[in-house]
Structure 1
Amino acid sequence: MRYVRSNRVRTVAVTAAVLATATAGTAAATADGGNSSDGDNRGNGAHAAADRDHDRDRDAAALTGTAKLTRSLGDDITFSFDARLAAEHNDNPRKATGTFRFSHYLDGEGAWAEAEVDCLVTGGKVAVVSGTITDTDLPGAKGLRIGVTVHDKGHRDRLGYSWAGTGSPLEDKDLAPCVSSAPFEKVKPGTGDYRVLPWHPEL
């Protein structure tokens, strides 16, 4: 059983567990008055901005979200991420924490894996995350490091992975942290969304 490198090869590998990230906002009236609906709208906008500011204060970088990939043969491939670099570790991407999961099935065959994050680097809307597989049903994969690249393009996100050139993460036994391929895969419309928080290191 191998991970897909082409549409004609049956592959494996990628997730279960849909990540759910929810932000809650409460409406607040504005100090300058106006009608109640206008005040509520402005209040919601203010809370949304405050939530974004809070996220920036809390995280130096982040990759979150879940989605499926587009495959012409109907492969069911899902990648999910909850990877963050805390603001206090802005100078060290190896201090990133979180998990990412992936699953890949075709005609009832496939596999899944979950990895613990050990590195996260983002630039603009592109993220590269790596981690060590902690749980999986792919024989021989547990304990291996894997890497994934995500390009956050709104509703046209793209994704790549470290085993793109070998066909299986089992072939990358000495992968370095934060190493992956170009984001050549396309996210299937309507199946989810990825969000990348840009990293601003002091260079």
Structure 2
Amino acid sequence: MNRRTKIAAVAAALLMTAGAAGSAVASGDGASGNREAAALTGSAKLYRPAGDDITMSFDAHLAKDVPPSEATGTFSFSHYKGEFAAAADVKVDCLVTGGKVAVVTGVITRGEGLLAPAVGKRVGISVHDTGKGRDRLGYSWMASNNPLKDEVPKCTSAAPFERTKEGTGDLRVLPWEFEYPTE
């Protein structure tokens, strides 16, 4: 076998090994065996024709074999328009997904502007991952228009009634495949 053929064969073997390792990591079948059961990730802006700048970002995860109330991660949201300013960082305390819909709740850890007094309050957001780049969102404070007024139980939010602004991002929902007990 000539030198070029040997180099090509070794390179191909290395690429195949790296691809197999990458597939194992992506599927969550790592050494720990604790693959991800559900997730909500990504960010997008809400569609508002009046010029409001509203952004939602998610990094929420649920490990296999734990209840939704043991989800981990964070999410954040902000709303700016003229003098109006409100933003919050949230620590996830529950995540449940079904198909391409997710509901995530958490407790506000940092509030800015009108949300500064909201630290310690629980809020919830729902997401419908349409797969078309125009996802939908809902939020627990939609009825009162004020997260400070609503008491929200874990894993509770309004239906995803708002649309995301075209071209501003893509939210991704990893569906939870609930395993029913057999006994």
Q: TM tier, shorter chain?
A: 0.7 to 0.9
- Alpha-carbon distance in 1 for matches of 2:106, 2:167: 27
Q: Structure 2, unaligned stretches of length 5 or more?
A: 1-10
Matches within 5 A, 1:126-141: 126-137=101-112, 138-141=115-118
State the one-letter code of the partner of 1:135. R
Aligned length: 164
- Alpha-carbon distance in 2 for matches of 1:195, 1:45: 23
Matches within 5 A, 1:92-171: 92-137=67-112, 138-154=115-131, 155-171=133-149
- Alpha-carbon distance in 1 for matches of 2:119, 2:13: 54
- Alpha-carbon distance in 1 for matches of 2:52, 2:17: 44
Structure 1's 43 and 66: CA in aligned 2 closer, same or farther, altered over 3 A? farther
TM-score of the two chains, using structure 1 as the length reference = 0.73
TM-score of the two chains, using structure 2 as the length reference = 0.81
1:29 aligned counterpart, secondary structure = helix
Q: Structure 1, unaligned stretches of length 5 or more?
A: 1-27, 32-39
> RMSD of the alignment, in Å?
2.3
Question: Is 1:53 matched up with 2:39?
Answer: no
Matches within 5 A, 1:3-18: none
- Alpha-carbon distance in 1 for matches of 2:51, 2:19: 40
What do the CA deviations read for 1:73-128 (whole angstroms, capped 9, x no partner)?
01000000000011141xx1000011000000011421100110000000000000
1:191 aligned counterpart, secondary structure = coil
- Alpha-carbon distance in 1 for matches of 2:20, 2:138: 36
Map of 2:12 onto structure 1? 29
More strand by share: 2
- Alpha-carbon distance in 2 for matches of 1:45, 1:182: 39
- Alpha-carbon distance in 1 for matches of 2:165, 2:22: 28
Map of 2:8 onto structure 1? none
- Alpha-carbon distance in 2 for matches of 1:51, 1:70: 35
1:94 aligned counterpart, secondary structure = helix
2:28 aligned counterpart, secondary structure = helix
State the one-letter code of the partner of 1:116. K
1:180 aligned counterpart, secondary structure = coil
Offset at 1:52? 3.7
Q: Quick check: which has more Rg, 1 or 2?
A: 2
